[in-house]
Amino acid sequence: MLAPLTGPNAERGTALAQAAQLALAAPGSPALDVIDTHGTPEGAADAATQAISGGATLLLGPLTSQETAAATAPATAAGVAMLAFTSDAAQQRPGVWVLGLTPAQQVRRLVAASTAQGKQHFAALLPPNEFGHALSDALLQSTLAAGAGSPDIRTVGEGMQAANSAVRDLSHYAARRGPFDAQIKAARALGTPEGRKTAAELSKRSIPSPPFDALLLAATGDHLGEITSLLPYYDVDTPPVRLLGPALWANPAARAGASLNGAWYAAPDPALRSAFDQQYTAKYGSAAPGLADLAYDAAAIARVVAGAGGFSTASLTRPEGFAGVDGLVALQPDGSVRRGLALFEIQRGGPQMIEPSPETLGAPGT
């Protein structure tokens, strides 16, 4: 196992090691050698080289995207598989699996659930950063796989001015509203009772719906509040437009002040993690921090595969996947990871699970 036992992430690294040791407590489990990466890319590369020189046949970790990139070279050169804890899908490749929750896993689940309800026209307002690019790629791939229309994806910067321009343009507001305004203006220009009556009737009519029925957002906090406040102003009504967002929305602080009633996000079912949390707390006397579940899963996969004959690609990518702490996890030959995520709807009392986590890889959205 490659973990930061020293440096700024030392506390998390220790928890990762403890979680892995918990998974390997059963008799007959493979031996675990924990090697310090010092929390740096150079340290991760050295740790991987040291582990391989010591006879390691599977690497668990490292923690970050940068450490994973550095450790990949020696691991790949030696033909040793790696189960990394980052969520950066750019690091995945044959023999290197990213166990963190990725944008692609979330979007795949959201698109499958949306198309099942008849949504076919997707749009997105995403930040111009790596997270936004990952969501964009995932939406393009997922809608294509689902047979939906090509999504309209726009970038949006921080601030109300940027949000206003982006929402107006994405919603095609001028084209939808323009003909009504022209007719109203022409009717009023007549200066007759009939003209004023016509103008009044036209003013009461609803303008056409926007050219999408599902809208993916990535924003959180104040910026999310700015975007959602503009949607009704530009006649983007929810429903019929379904708002979709990241698993980050599970955190109340991420969605505070935003109008998200009826919005969806995909994430692990917290109830599935309770047994692991209880086991970790009973053993170590403190709550398991975030990402400890990934280390437990990686070690549990190692235990299962070791008992089935070794850490071959065929064993690691078995079709049925593995029962992870957060639900189904299945390693794919190309390095991608499929997960069984639950679907949540944000309601007035908070998020409610409306579809449970799929238990088989063939389920929609896995």
Q: For the segment 65-123, what is each residue's pLDDT rounded down to a tens digit?
A: 999 999 999 999 999 999 999 999 999 999 999 999 999 999 999 999 999 999 999 99
Tokens of 63: 């923690």
Q: Indicate whether 86 and 168 sit together in one domain.
A: no
197 assigned to some structural domain = no
Count of Cβ atoms closer than 10 Å to residue 60 Cβ: 28
79 assigned to some structural domain = yes
Q: Lowest mean pLDDT: which of 135-139, 328-332, 360-364?
A: 360-364
Q: For the segment 320-340, what is each residue's pLDDT rounded down to a tens digit?
A: 999 999 999 999 999 999 999
Of the candidates 241, 242, 243, 199, the one whose C-alpha atom is nearest the C-alpha of residue 219 is: 243
180 assigned to some structural domain = no
188 assigned to some structural domain = no
Q: Domain tally for the chain?
A: 2
Where in the sequence is the domain holding 286, given as residue range(s)? 2-101+270-335
Q: Indicate whether 233 and 297 sit together in one domain.
A: no
Q: For the segment 221-236, what is each residue's pLDDT rounded down to a tens digit?
A: 999 999 999 999 999 9
**Residue 248: phi, psi to the nearest 5?**
-55, -25
Q: For the segment 245-276, what is each residue's pLDDT rounded down to a tens digit?
A: 999 999 999 999 999 999 999 999 999 999 99
Task: Please enumerate, as own/partner, the contacts of 280-285 that have beta carbons within 8 Å and a separation of 24 or more.
Answer: 280/18, 280/19, 280/22, 283/18, 283/22, 284/18
Q: Indicate whether 70 and 132 sit together in one domain.
A: no
Q: Indicate whether 263 and 246 sit together in one domain.
A: yes
350: left (phi over 0), alpha (psi -120 to 50) or beta: left
Q: Indicate whether 244 and 131 sit together in one domain.
A: yes
Q: Indicate whether 14 and 136 sit together in one domain.
A: no
196 assigned to some structural domain = no
Contact present, 246 and 106 (Cβ < 8 Å) = yes
Q: Indicate whether 23 and 89 sit together in one domain.
A: yes
189 assigned to some structural domain = no
Q: Kindly report whether the global pTM for this prediction surpasses the value 0.75.
A: yes
Q: For the segment 269-279, what is each residue's pLDDT rounded down to a tens digit?
A: 999 999 999 99
Q: Indicate whether 218 and 241 sit together in one domain.
A: yes
**Residue 123: phi, psi to the nearest 5?**
-140, 165
Query: Residue 366 CA to chain centroid, in angstroms?
Result: 12
Reply yes or no on whether the pLDDT at 205 is more than 80: no
Q: Read off the CATH number of the domain in which 244 is found.
A: 3.40.50.2300
- How confident is residue 166, by pLDDT bands cut at 50, 70 and 90? very high
Q: For the segment 27-51, what is each residue's pLDDT rounded down to a tens digit?
A: 989 999 999 999 999 999 999 999 9
Q: What is the pLDDT at residue 117?
A: 95
6 assigned to some structural domain = yes
61 assigned to some structural domain = yes
Q: Indicate whether 159 and 247 sit together in one domain.
A: yes
Q: Indicate whether 97 and 109 sit together in one domain.
A: no
Count of Cβ atoms closer than 10 Å to residue 76 Cβ: 16
Q: Indicate whether 112 and 91 sit together in one domain.
A: no
